[in-house]
Structure 1
């Protein structure tokens, strides 16, 4: 059986949707909060860039990505435990 790139990508996407569907309300709320924090930081970075502060804007965007990753990792562990969905 041959797999092309599209088949592999479609399978991975379907699997990720299945895993995402297992999120409980606490985990989902924590992930939403992580995304909101990242968006706020990215908006601040955009304002910095508009003010000519490119280096600071780049650092803020990197920090925004790191914050979201850390908060989502916490949601995956703490949120699942609070929802009773430990994997």
Structure 2
């Protein structure tokens, strides 16, 4: 194999191995998912509180 072909092959193999290793769930991915879920829960709670406040004030538009 010539040097450019060998370099290209090594780069391709390295990229393939990196992409396969990214598929497994690790502690960082699990932590990220937990943070996303917590943020969504907080967002929903804030929206619910806003809608309840608007409902108590008898506003026409109760969407937040």
* TM-score relative to the length of structure 2: 0.48
Q: Which has the larger radius of gyration?
A: 2
Q: Counting helix residues as a fraction of each chain, which structure ranks higher?
A: 1
Q: Whose relative contact order is higher, 1 or 2, with alpha carbons under 8 Å and at least 6 apart?
A: 1
